[in-house]
Structure 1
Amino acid sequence: MIPGKGFGEAWKKIMGEYGDDVLVGDWEADWEKLQYRRLEVEKRGPEIEVVPDQIIESGKDAEILAGLFVPVSSKVLEAMPKLKVVGVSRAGLENVNVTEATKRGVLVFNVQGRNAHAVSDFAVGMMLAECRNIARAHYAIKNGTWRKTFSNSATVPELTGRNVGIIGFGYIGRLVAQKLSGFNMNRLVFDPYASEEDVKEAGCTKVDLETLLKESDFITLHARLTEANKNMIGEKEIALMKETAYIVNTGRAGLVDQVALAAALKANKISGAALDVFTTEPIPEDSEFLKLDNVTLTTHIAGTTADALGNSPSLLLEDISKLLKDNKPRFIVNPEVLENEEFKKWLEEVRA
């Protein structure tokens, strides 16, 4: 999704003063294989993958490793004994064994918010596409039908004055709230890590999950997937939603029980759903979602814009450069490594 040459060009532009001994490659050049492999790593972690050939052949002297989806497992760290910095140009850390990196004194960077505008734009678009039947009408016309009747025809809503429940109030959730303010929506927030003051400052109302589910006309998910919140929206939670409500997931498929959601849509217990993420991608041919007329499906493209992808290697290397220049980096994941004696010695030598 970001060819290796993108990182090479960003290095030359931003980090060239630290040398041009840079090896550039692609973890997986086949697009279809990339989609499968990266999803498996996101679900099961980096340890399922073998060490890339380039790292086996040339990684023993490398001090910095930068990429997008490349799995940084304990095996990779073992093959790169001089490694001091790992950077991934994405917010997710599913492809990095951060615990092992920390033990070995390797500082980890990610890039938070690189696709936040892309995803937040898309989430708003998915709300409109699903509740206003935009994709279904387009499909009908392309297939020779002038369709005017849909499963929600009696209750097609406008956004103005409706309640939207935002689950997860990080950068993306906040941008969604900001953008929906233009529709004059009442914005409810569930996020145990966000303070009531911060939520209120953004013009939103902090509520518990049950209140959000009961009162929202639209629910949009922007939380990180953890073991604690896996399937946080299941049969019991969906049963609390209004029959006229819609759920939008551009975050992680694992936040929602897929079987329970499909069953609820089939029984018209909620009006509709819009999904950009799935537990298996591409979506299986026998998926229940493919049989439903009240769901909008897209191919995990919410965060994929030229701006978001193209800029992210530079954002990553600019932040690493701040560390090396003794400025204040924004995206350090495991700051305790800064106190590691061997790391401190290496950093002093680089800064000298």
Structure 2
Amino acid sequence: MSKNALPLVISAPEPRTLELIFTPPQLARFRKKYRIVETTPEMVAGLPSDILAEARYIVGQPPISSETLETLKVLRCIFNVETNLVNNMPYDTLFQRGIHVVTTGLVFAEPVAELGLAMALNLARDIVDADLAFRQGKELWGGDGNATARLLSGAEVGIIGFGDLGRALNRLLTGFRTRTRVFDPWLPPSILIDNGVEPASLDKV
């Protein structure tokens, strides 16, 4: 198969790079199976019309106006590699045309959930401030050093949103036997209950 016969991919993954996204073997496979046009997010709309008309996939989250989308005649999927779905493209029109917008949220969920748990433990036990006081020779001991401390174990916890990150955090919290309430207006209560959390209003959370 000639290079021009391969499915065309517009690659504009800033702030990431293809080398960061793919392992070397997978990147080599990607380059072998697709015709890749590399550019910056700001330059996507200005690509030649024949490139836009042939583009099957976009890697990245470049700004796409309704006018630009009209020229993307055979676009099937946008691979958002930054995860945050910024309001820079007409999502309603994309969905109406059956064009998928997928993210890498699941990749980041567990690392970010662990970071969130670490921050929660720090707030509950005042770890950073206690360490700083110790280094300055101002540490407090016994009850004085734990006057504002609280246990995460058995605590009441609220989570706003129960997507990839919320679910990953909930899995980490199971070891702490927390009572976890979740507000997510997009999910039915049955899904929350199946995941061992209590559906709740935003005010309650």
Same fold (TM over 0.5): yes
Is the contact between residue 178 and residue 202 of structure 1 (CA under 8 Å) also seen in structure 2? no
- Provide structure 2 residue ranges, at least 5 long, that are not aligned to the other structure: 1-14
Q: CA deviation at 1:61?
A: 1.8
Is the contact between residue 79 and residue 102 of structure 2 (CA under 8 Å) also seen in structure 1? yes
Is the contact between residue 60 and residue 81 of structure 1 (CA under 8 Å) also seen in structure 2? no
Q: 1:155 aligns with which of 124, 138, 148?
A: 148
Looking at structure 2, the residues matched to 195 and 119 of structure 1 have their Cα atoms a distance apart, in angstroms, of: 25
Residue number in structure 2 paired with 1:287: none
Looking at structure 2, the residues matched to 58 and 5 of structure 1 have their Cα atoms a distance apart, in angstroms, of: 25
Is the contact between residue 45 and residue 64 of structure 2 (CA under 8 Å) also seen in structure 1? no
Is the contact between residue 61 and residue 80 of structure 2 (CA under 8 Å) also seen in structure 1? yes
Q: CA deviation at 1:77?
A: 2.6
Does residue 1:24 correspond to 2:73, yes or no? no
When residues 147 and 180 of structure 1 are mapped into structure 2, their CA distance, relative to the original with a 3 A threshold, is farther
- Provide structure 1 residue ranges, at least 5 long, that are not aligned to the other structure: 28-51, 213-352
Give the partner amino acid of 1:61: I
Q: 2:29 aligns with which of 13, 18, 34?
A: 13
Matches within 5 A, 1:46-125: 52-53=42-43, 55-58=45-48, 60-62=50-52, 63-77=55-69, 80-85=71-76, 86-94=78-86, 95-102=88-95, 105=97, 107-111=99-103, 112-125=105-118
Higher relative contact order (CA 8 A, sep 6+): 1
Q: CA RMSD in A?
A: 3.2
Aligned to 2:84, the other structure's residue is in SS state: coil
Residue number in structure 2 paired with 1:313: none
Is the contact between residue 183 and residue 201 of structure 2 (CA under 8 Å) also seen in structure 1? yes
Is the contact between residue 61 and residue 79 of structure 2 (CA under 8 Å) also seen in structure 1? no
Q: Per-residue CA shift, 1:97-146, capped at 9, x if unaligned?
A: 2134356x4613212423111221121111012222233345556xx623
Residue number in structure 2 paired with 1:197: 190
Structure with the higher fraction of residues in strand conformation: 2
Does residue 1:188 correspond to 2:181, yes or no? yes
Q: CA deviation at 1:211?
A: 3.2
Q: Per-residue CA shift, 1:323-346, capped at 9, x if unaligned?
A: xxxxxxxxxxxxxxxxxxxxxxxx
Percent identical:
21
The count of residues paired between Structure 1 and Structure 2 equals 180
Does residue 1:177 correspond to 2:170, yes or no? yes
Q: CA deviation at 1:65?
A: 4.1
Q: 1:134 aligns with which of 109, 127, 130?
A: 127
TM-score after normalising by structure 1: 0.43
